[in-house]
Structure 1
């Protein structure tokens, strides 16, 4: 069945790929972006490829921007917009943690509450949160970002149960991507130790920490977005989606090993 799908953070990476895939599957997609330039590029792409895809700027932290969705009949909301800050929990500037939560958690909840007004009234709809594998397991020095993804997992699980109690046919699901190459990881890693001064507890280990990160990313990162995009499409189209979807599949072993070590 054709659905109206609104996705945030669709200007680049996974959000852009998912928007295009959903439009190619015959859905009407509202691909919202952080800035006007990204929106214009997507509009041009959609026109060139005969896709039913509309794009406009929606900064999820802006109340004025969020209000734009109030009059759209949304069948599926995909909360994808996010940023990633790093730092040791022992010394990170807490204002950075707050900002990470404002974008990744609070703004997404506010957008969700707006979309739910219409969904509950129509007694149908789905809300999908793009989390991460670090929503299940934390990574040293990426604590601020990992914390937000853990919070998203908790929020989605609670909302799913609440919607079941309400009985309004509202579905909730989580997508947990692994390390895909979209440029987002490079952005995070490029700034991962920018907070570290010579007074840091970890300064004498800086070179080895950077080298370890480079090796890990090189080993694990994959360029094939198809395996995670198909999970997003499956969750959006499902009558009763699973609570969690993740890819690539080999991540299950890492998650199980991590949970076994706890």
Structure 2
């Protein structure tokens, strides 16, 4: 059945792929993006693919932009907009850390609150938070992003319990490491402020950790999983992909129960 799906952060990466793919499947897709140039770019891509997408600028940190959400009626809300930046937690500049929380947690929750009010009024609807494997697992020097996604996991699980009685579904989608460029940009960002002469974290340790980015999964597979899952009337609360990432997440979580320090 055709659904109306509102997906934030549709200007790039997995969000963009999912927005275009869902539209190709015949769903009505409302696809706001962060910046004005992304509006032009996504509209052109949709036109080239022969699909209808409702594209406009909506920076989720901007209250005026956010007010546009009130004008739309939709069945499913996908909280996908996010930014990413790496670096050692003991030394990351707090300004950078706060910015990640501003976008990935505070503004994301604000969008979900708007969707929740709409759905409660209708007595039905679904909110999907695009979390991450980083919502459950931890990786050295990915701490700022990991902290925000752990917060999203807490928000999603709590809202699921609070909204169920109103007929509103809440779920998460947790991608592994995919080659959208999102993780690579994050790894690069820390080198803007890191100074070997000032910081105690070893440059070599961070460079070694960055090498893991050489083996990322093909984003087309994750996009296909999102296109399949998002419109469903019923599915698992947490959708992790690929399966090896789900296994890794479960194993790492189990280890914490027995780990001693």
* Alpha-carbon separation, structure 1, partners of 2:235 and 2:189: 36
**Which structure 2 residue ranges, 5 or more long, are not aligned?**
257-261
What residue number does 1:251 align with?
A: 245
Q: Indicate the SS of the match to 1:210.
A: helix
Superposition map of 1:179-198 within 5 A = 179-197=177-195, 198=197
Instruction: Encode CA deviations 1:156-201: one digit per residue, 9 max, x unaligned.
Output: 010111111xx22211110111110001111011123433221212
Q: Indicate the SS of the match to 1:250.
A: helix
What residue number does 1:19 align with?
A: 19
The answer to whether the Cα contact below 8 Å between 1:86 and 1:193 also exists between their aligned partners in 2 is no
Which residue, 199, 202, 214 being the options, matches 1:218?
214
Root-mean-square deviation over aligned CA pairs? 1.5
Q: TM-score, normalised by structure 2?
A: 0.92
**Which structure 1 residue ranges, 5 or more long, are not aligned?**
none
* Alpha-carbon separation, structure 2, partners of 1:226 and 1:112: 26
Q: Indicate the SS of the match to 1:10.
A: coil
* Alpha-carbon separation, structure 2, partners of 1:246 and 1:253: 9
Is 1:207 aligned with 2:211? no
Deviation at 1:208, TM superposition (A): 4.2
The answer to whether the Cα contact below 8 Å between 1:231 and 1:246 also exists between their aligned partners in 2 is no
Which residue, 213, 228, 231 being the options, matches 1:234?
228
User: Which has the higher mean CA deviation after the structures are superposed, 109-118 or 69-78?
Assistant: 109-118
User: Which has the higher mean CA deviation after the structures are superposed, 20-29 or 244-253?
Assistant: 244-253
Aligned length: 255
What residue number does 2:259 align with?
A: none
The answer to whether the Cα contact below 8 Å between 1:175 and 1:231 also exists between their aligned partners in 2 is no
* Alpha-carbon separation, structure 2, partners of 1:158 and 1:256: 20
Provide runs of 4+ in structure 1 moved above 6 Å.
none
The answer to whether the Cα contact below 8 Å between 2:85 and 2:187 also exists between their aligned partners in 1 is no
Q: TM-score, normalised by structure 1?
A: 0.92
